[in-house]
Amino acid sequence: MIRAFLCLLIVAFAAPAGAQQGRPAAAFHQNERAAYRIQIPAGWEAVANDEVDFQMREPRADLALFVRVLEGPYGDDRDAFRVLTDFYKDNLDYILVRAGAKPLPLLQRDGWAFVVRQTAAPRIEMVAIIPQTPNGESSIYYHLRLVAAVRRLDAIESEMDRLIAGFRIIGAPAAQPVRPRADAPAFTPPRENVAASAAVGPEALSERLEEWRLGYALRYPRGWQVVRLNDFTVRLSAGRDAGNRESAITIQNMAGVASGGVYERAEDVAKAFRQQILGLDGKAQFHAERPFVYARTRLRLKGTEFSAAYRVQGNDWRQWQIVLPRPDGGSFHAWGLTAPAERFDDYAKVAAAILESWVIAP
């Protein structure tokens, strides 16, 4: 009897420990550089995918989550919401079902959510956008995209809420975004060009440039001038200042080796631009020489970018240069902003919004 009682006590005390040992530890994906961590729930598994920062799936429920890190600047957070809303409205691959603010009390900030349906497949997606910093001008946004079967339309938001509950921002990013950002709260154009659009707000990029023969289209502010410099170069000018110095975005198509040109890689085109700048100022300084990835309308292109500071005829200039290969590999798009150094950050804010609107044809 006593032996049986002791056996029961041993079982009673051992059971919780055994249960604790049998419960698997929570799994996480953590990105120190981008300053976030997300839990991998039970039943989910990580999936290798070089095109996003992280992917996981739940095979039984036919769910997949993709996590990307978006780098701004977009302006303030409302501008980011506007840019992303316009993307889904203009993208023929999607039907925008609903979009709106999404409170994130666990993260102590507000985000946005989009529910869209794929036009060419019986799938729906919910996208949640989480700003890295609350209530302000974020330079990093976390983009969580949950894909499910159409029949799960009513449940997709609750599924996303469960995943966001396991998402945490773990500090400041280890690396700041490559793209220039403005510290000024608002963009002020030169007084001599009062027609130039000032704010990067919902109405700012009201004009549309379609150059499909050159392989792209974009939006730009009212008041900016568009000039075709030659058969392969377009310039968008924001005007001149009191010193007759022009701030402008120039987009060139440059032939690659496959099209009879001399450039094999995007880095070769960027090198040519750096040599051109050094020809103007042998003491020019170059910064932020990094890969640049274009990911829009399901098209993904890998190129390069850099920033430069140089002096010409007593004036200080700055340049932001991006080079991307065309999808067919035959030529390259060279996109660059040039502006007087003291106004560069102002124009960079508008140029970044123009860049986000840039649609490259497949």
- Encode pLDDT of 318-327 as tens digits: 999 999 998 8
Q: Which residues contact 214 (CB under 8 A, 6 or more apart)?
A: 232, 234, 251, 253
CATH architecture of 23-169: 3-Layer(aba) Sandwich (3.40)
Highest average pLDDT, of 33-37, 165-169, 174-178, comes from: 165-169
Dig out the tokens for 133 from the structure: 């910093």
**What class is the 191-360 domain?**
alpha beta
Dig out the tokens for 205 from the structure: 């990029």
H/E stretch holding 211: strand 207-211
Return d(Cα 95, Cα 185) in angstroms, integer: 34
Dig out the tokens for 284 from the structure: 């020019």
Return d(Cα 32, Cα 175) in angstroms, integer: 10
The average confidence (pLDDT) of the chain is: 78
| Residues 158-171, mean pLDDT to the nearest whole number | 92
- Residue 2: band (very low, low, confident or very high) from pLDDT cuts 50, 70, 90: very low
* Least confident span in 5-19, 146-160, 218-232: 5-19
pLDDT at position 173 = 61
Share of the chain above pLDDT 70, in %: 78
Q: Which residue has the higher pLDDT, 294 or 26?
A: 294
Strand partners, 240: 246
Domain with CATH 3.40.1000.10 in the chain: 23-169, 191-360
pLDDT at 199 over 50: no
The amino acid sitting at 292 is F
- Residue 163: band (very low, low, confident or very high) from pLDDT cuts 50, 70, 90: very high
| Residues 263-291, mean pLDDT to the nearest whole number | 88
pLDDT at position 259 = 77
| CB contact at 8 A, 146 and 125 | yes
- Of the candidates 114, 122, 68, 64, the one whose C-alpha atom is nearest the C-alpha of residue 87 is 114
| Residues 45-66, mean pLDDT to the nearest whole number | 90
pLDDT digits (tens, 9 = 90+) for 243-274: 677 889 999 988 888 777 788 899 999 998 89
pLDDT at position 9 = 31
Return d(Cα 23, Cα 8) in angstroms, integer: 23
Query: Coil, strand, or helix at residue 346?
Result: helix
Share of the chain above pLDDT 90, in %: 24
Return d(Cα 266, Cα 270) in angstroms, integer: 6
pLDDT at position 172 = 67
pLDDT at position 156 = 92
pLDDT at position 297 = 60
- Residue 177: band (very low, low, confident or very high) from pLDDT cuts 50, 70, 90: very low
* Least confident span in 10-19, 185-194, 309-318: 185-194
- Residue 65: band (very low, low, confident or very high) from pLDDT cuts 50, 70, 90: very high
pLDDT at position 186 = 33
